[in-house]
Structure 1
Amino acid sequence: MKYFSLFIFLLGSVQLFAQPEATMYTLSGVPQHVNYNPAFVPNYKFVLSIGPGSVHGHYSNSSFAYSDLAVRRGDSLVADLVKFNGALNKKNYITTAGDVEAFRLGIQLSKRLYFNWTVGTKVFARQMIPQDLTSLFINGTSSFVNSSASFSPQLEATSYLESAFGASYKVNDKITVGGRVKILRGIVNASTENSELTLALADDYSMTLTGDVNARTSGIQNADNGDVKDYLKNKGLAIDLGATLKLTEKLTVGASLLDVGAINWKNDTYAYTLDPSVATYTFAGVDLQRIIDGDEDYFDAEMDSLESKFELQEGATGGYRTPLPGKMYFNASYKIKKQITFGALLFMEKFQGRFHPGLSASVHKEFWRIAGVSVSYSAINKGFGNLGAGFNLNLTPFQFYVVGDNLLRMPLSYLANGSYEKFASNVRYFNVRAGMNFVFGRDRSHEKKAYNQRKK
């Protein structure tokens, strides 16, 4: 029963994985801006963060919102399962992510070279809900007669430590290039190499259930007895690459490729498998006569047979390798005035063969040297109402910032409706990042250049 329960748990487990951030990319006054293109150079010659220099949380899903499931009828909140099922795609992904930057050091070594070093921890996950699964519970089995329903659970959950060393180099007045090397130490992982659960329904309504699973974990099976040193066995490496090109005095374009790499898992590695030749069960229907005759063991026997066939086989296994979710950014920024910049951003993430694209438009305003404010509009996850916002406050040597995608909709929803309920029930994409830095030596070279040009 233990492993049958674990199998059911795997079908519904939350899978963490990160998606790109849009608004943070525009907040150029914050040193963490360099995380999204290693060719970027902060406005300060020296940056130091010790403690929560950056804390980030993310949530999104690819198809539905809470309002598709729960609807208000009068004073009551009821579940509308038909509406919910209609809002689903064939495969539906709920994603969450988080990271904490514990340390950052940034130094302008010369007029051309900027160096940065960061240390932090990250976690990412994803949950896939197949529409066939909800259709079976909502609409019954009639729609699957002489066909099959595929329930294909996948699991990819990872947490790891990251130490990143990066540099940007100004080739000339127009071109800047940059890169970062990331040393990774995996903490915990659960991944599914293969997973199929198929229900075939014949015209006589007999049902055949077949399973085929190959899942792996690291750092979970013996977590209670684990040693910190054991987790250092999970080594990985990743790189970031980026470049910017200044086409005119006002127009700049940039591109970056992030998190190209993988982690090799060696600590406490276990495999969980189902052999499809064994994990198959046909349910021909209910024998009413046996129920009438008072056969109390009838259903228990059926369930025991089902459980025995779908019991996960587990055992220690060798090491395995998992990739990180790779991210790509392409941006263009146009400075219409000295302190106002318009931006356009195309971003996407590739993970396990699936692309997650998005588009964003933004405006960023600098308020002298004291503050910076960004607002953005993003189209992502088939959602077209994502209003982002961010600001940084510079009280040298302290700098504080808060930024997020779809963050602006929260206060707007409250002003319009007197509560956050409408926002919470319709949100499909949301992330927020906040932190504090110590900053010194603001770079004023561009200010002096603009001043000299005005004098001419």
Structure 2
Amino acid sequence: MKRNNILAYFIAAAGIFFCGTASAQALHSGYFLEGYTYRHLMNPAFEPERNYVSIPGIGNINMGTQSNVGLNTFLYPYGNGKLTTFMNSAVSSDEFLGKLKDNNRINMNMNLTLLSVGFRAWGGFNTFDVSLRSSTSLNLPRGLFEFMKVGMDGTNPVYEMDGLGISSNNYAEIALGHSHQINERLRIGAKVKALLGLGNASIKMTDMKVQMAENQWMVQANGELNASVKGLTLPTKGESGKTLNNPSEATLIDWGNMDIDSPGLSGYGMAVDLGATYKLLDNLTLSAALLDLGFISWSNTIKGATSNEPWLFDGFHNIAMGSDDPNGDKPLEDQLEDLGKDVENYASFHRTETGGKATKMLGATLNIGADYAFPLYDKLHFGFLSSTRINGPYSWSEGRLSANVSPVKWFDAGVNYGLSTFGSSFGWILNFHPCGFNFFVGMDHTLTKVTPQYIPVGNANTNVSLGFNITFGKRK
């Protein structure tokens, strides 16, 4: 039996999720830099230094990945500078499995600002943003890889795979924001966002395991699929005219004939950002924000579910010695192939509904910050930022300590160190903001070590953010 069939079909089903690359809204390394134009994306109470208008498409680009495992967990050197996967027998089970977590998580993030404008009016600062957002999260339990690597050769008779899942959310956002000074210490801000859904999909396995015994194997998989993408077609094997071993296979989704024709908007929604800053002391400012509190109502939804009855395999029977057996028995190779197909069919999804509707909440983010100006040199600030992503099984949290300096009015920079659900990371930002333009570049997660094959060592955490904007008007 091909032990990677379950994962192969899981990833094939995930092909509908665009190559999503966005839980991060903006560069966290710039949270405490007043000259950084896009601080308002992390707290709508923040007021940019000057009026501004973005260069379309390059005003703010932010993309990256977060993971509690690294590429070197799955890829290994294999003679003459080549690479091989963990499935190679040259890679020991102890070495590979020792690198895994109980739940191995990967996030892929992108936030692309198409247009952004900020200006002072109506007693405060106002922003208008149009952007593309994409976030894809994947959870792969340790039991899945243990089954793939050792299978029936291992000492563990039961491989638990609960929590296996993937979620992808892709939409355009139109946001109107206003930041207002209440008194000399308190400033508040809010944004209202219209959301245009481009595609949403999720696969969730709530109960999945493989139990092996001497005389019988049992496979159990209880899962559900939801996909909302305009123009998406997920035909069943019955509709595709495939040869069926039994009638129950007619409703199985035929991933090989998946198609997307004339994609477009497939959902609408709204969200709000709320934020505040409070100057507790002359050199200590506290801030807090709750972002992306909202939902999208999706249409064109395709739903599916796995068979919820355990599937049993009690061994091979009547093995033929040749391909032409007069009794109709099959050789071992053919029976192995049939077994693989049976497992594939069992772990795949039966389509249960097309053209339905579904409402999904966005993953919200809570930011809490403290900014301390060094008394002996007020151009040096120290900051602490706590960020928590509230997104069900794909939630995460991070704490980031930073040192930021503004030696001249037109330039500031910062370095920081963070600890999160995905491990530790080093971040930095360079921010140029003379009168006339703002250019920034930075990373919250910097790759510091790679193998000779340029594979990152350690967790696959990396991101990059940069942007160019035209500024005008008086400095605040």
* TM-score (normalised: structure 1): 0.84
Report the Cα offset of residue 68 of structure 1.
3.7
Is 1:397–2:436 an aligned residue pair? yes
Report the Cα offset of residue 82 of structure 1.
2.8
Given the alignment, which residue of 221, 224, 234 partners 1:214? 224
Once the two structures are superposed, residues 300-332 of structure 1 have per-residue CA deviations (whole angstroms, 9 ceiling, x without a partner) of 544454455455322414200122111111111
Q: Provide closer, same or farther for how the CA distance between residues 84 and 23 of structure 1 changes in structure 2, counting only shifts above 3 A.
A: farther
State the SS of the aligned residue for 2:12. helix
Report the Cα offset of residue 333 of structure 1.
0.6
Q: Provide closer, same or farther for how the CA distance between residues 8 and 200 of structure 1 changes in structure 2, counting only shifts above 3 A.
A: farther
Structure 1 unpaired stretches of 5+:
445-456
Given the alignment, which residue of 72, 81, 90 partners 2:102? 90
Distance 2:103 2:296 in 1: 27
Q: Provide closer, same or farther for how the CA distance between residues 318 and 177 of structure 1 changes in structure 2, counting only shifts above 3 A.
A: same
Is 1:281–2:311 an aligned residue pair? yes
Q: Provide closer, same or farther for how the CA distance between residues 154 and 67 of structure 1 changes in structure 2, counting only shifts above 3 A.
A: closer
| RMSD after superposition | 2.9
Structure 2 unpaired stretches of 5+:
234-258, 324-329
Q: Which position in structure 2 is the counterpart of 1:36?
A: 42
Q: Which position in structure 2 is the counterpart of 1:191?
A: 202
Q: Which position in structure 2 is the counterpart of 1:439?
A: 471
Report the Cα offset of residue 159 of structure 1.
0.9
Q: Which position in structure 2 is the counterpart of 1:27?
A: 33
Q: Which position in structure 1 is the counterpart of 2:270?
A: 237
State the SS of the aligned residue for 1:144. coil
User: Residue type of the partner of 1:264?
Assistant: S
Once the two structures are superposed, residues 331-352 of structure 1 have per-residue CA deviations (whole angstroms, 9 ceiling, x without a partner) of 1111113322111111111112
Q: Which position in structure 1 is the counterpart of 2:294?
A: 261
1:355-374 equivalence runs, <5 A: 355-374=395-414
Distance 1:428 1:234 in 2: 32
Q: Provide closer, same or farther for how the CA distance between residues 364 and 442 of structure 1 changes in structure 2, counting only shifts above 3 A.
A: farther
Q: Which position in structure 2 is the counterpart of 1:226?
A: 262
User: Residue type of the partner of 1:10?
Assistant: A
Is 1:122–2:133 an aligned residue pair? yes
Distance 1:123 1:131 in 2: 26
Q: Which position in structure 2 is the counterpart of 1:290?
A: 319
Distance 2:119 2:13 in 1: 46
Is 1:250–2:283 an aligned residue pair? yes
Kindly indicate whether the alpha-carbon contact (under 8 Å) linking 2:316 and 2:335 is maintained by their aligned counterparts in 1: no
Q: Which position in structure 1 is the counterpart of 2:349?
A: 312
Report the Cα offset of residue 104 of structure 1.
0.9
Kindly indicate whether the alpha-carbon contact (under 8 Å) linking 1:16 and 1:156 is maintained by their aligned counterparts in 2: no
Is 1:107–2:119 an aligned residue pair? yes
Q: Provide closer, same or farther for how the CA distance between residues 316 and 113 of structure 1 changes in structure 2, counting only shifts above 3 A.
A: same
Q: Provide closer, same or farther for how the CA distance between residues 83 and 184 of structure 1 changes in structure 2, counting only shifts above 3 A.
A: same
Kindly indicate whether the alpha-carbon contact (under 8 Å) linking 2:21 and 2:64 is maintained by their aligned counterparts in 1: no
Q: Which position in structure 2 is the counterpart of 1:447?
A: none
Is 1:9–2:12 an aligned residue pair? yes
Report the Cα offset of residue 107 of structure 1.
1.1
User: Residue type of the partner of 1:246?
Assistant: K
User: Residue type of the partner of 1:138?
Assistant: K
Distance 1:381 1:166 in 2: 31
Q: Which position in structure 2 is the counterpart of 1:272?
A: 304
Distance 2:467 2:438 in 1: 8
Q: Which position in structure 2 is the counterpart of 1:149?
A: 160
Q: Which position in structure 2 is the counterpart of 1:162?
A: 173
Report the Cα offset of residue 188 of structure 1.
1.0
Q: Provide closer, same or farther for how the CA distance between residues 155 and 67 of structure 1 changes in structure 2, counting only shifts above 3 A.
A: closer
Report the Cα offset of residue 103 of structure 1.
0.9
Q: Provide closer, same or farther for how the CA distance between residues 235 and 178 of structure 1 changes in structure 2, counting only shifts above 3 A.
A: same
Report the Cα offset of residue 272 of structure 1.
1.7
User: Residue type of the partner of 2:308?
Assistant: P
Given the alignment, which residue of 308, 321, 334 partners 2:359? 321
Please say which of residues 241-250 and 214-223 is displaced more in the overlay: 214-223
Report the Cα offset of residue 67 of structure 1.
3.4
State the SS of the aligned residue for 1:9. helix
Distance 1:72 1:304 in 2: 32
User: Residue type of the partner of 2:280?
Assistant: L
Once the two structures are superposed, residues 1-39 of structure 1 have per-residue CA deviations (whole angstroms, 9 ceiling, x without a partner) of xx9975562379887651475313233312211110111
User: Residue type of the partner of 1:48?
Assistant: V
* TM-score (normalised: structure 2): 0.80
Distance 1:101 1:149 in 2: 42
Distance 1:400 1:309 in 2: 53
Report the Cα offset of residue 354 of structure 1.
4.7
Aligned length: 422
Report the Cα offset of residue 70 of structure 1.
4.3
Identity %: 21
Q: Provide closer, same or farther for how the CA distance between residues 213 and 160 of structure 1 changes in structure 2, counting only shifts above 3 A.
A: same
Distance 2:132 2:126 in 1: 20
Report the Cα offset of residue 397 of structure 1.
1.2
Distance 2:222 2:115 in 1: 44
Distance 1:311 1:42 in 2: 50
Please say which of residues 295-304 and 248-257 is displaced more in the overlay: 295-304
